Amino acid sequence: MSDDTTPICSAKGCRAAAVWVLAWNNPKLHTPERRKTWIACDEHRESLSQFLGVRGFLKDVVPLTEWEAPEGSGRPDGS
């Protein structure tokens, strides 16, 4: 169970605690150094990674506990 401070998986309808950060960038919209983020639980890490990967957007997947956002990238909750 999660509380209001627990990051929640970005997968549609999932309410599980997130443990992964998927850093991505849409080269048509973002500068090369810009990183947007989705966060994922163990169950959705692969499917979200594949979704971003087939579009050429996925740049990195790291454990949430190790994520250090590049300056100006936003929070690891997709904001």
Predicted confidence (pLDDT) per residue in 31-71, tens digit? 999 999 999 999 999 999 999 999 999 999 999 999 986 66
- Given pLDDT bands bounded at 50, 70 and 90, which one contains residue 5? confident
Report the candidate in 31, 24, 5 with the shortest Cα–Cα distance to residue 62.
Answer: 24
In angstroms, the CA 11 to CA 18 distance is 10
Kindly state the tokens that stand for 19: 């443990």
Return the higher-pLDDT residue of 6 and 59. Answer: 59
Task: For residues 10-31, give the mean pLDDT.
Answer: 96
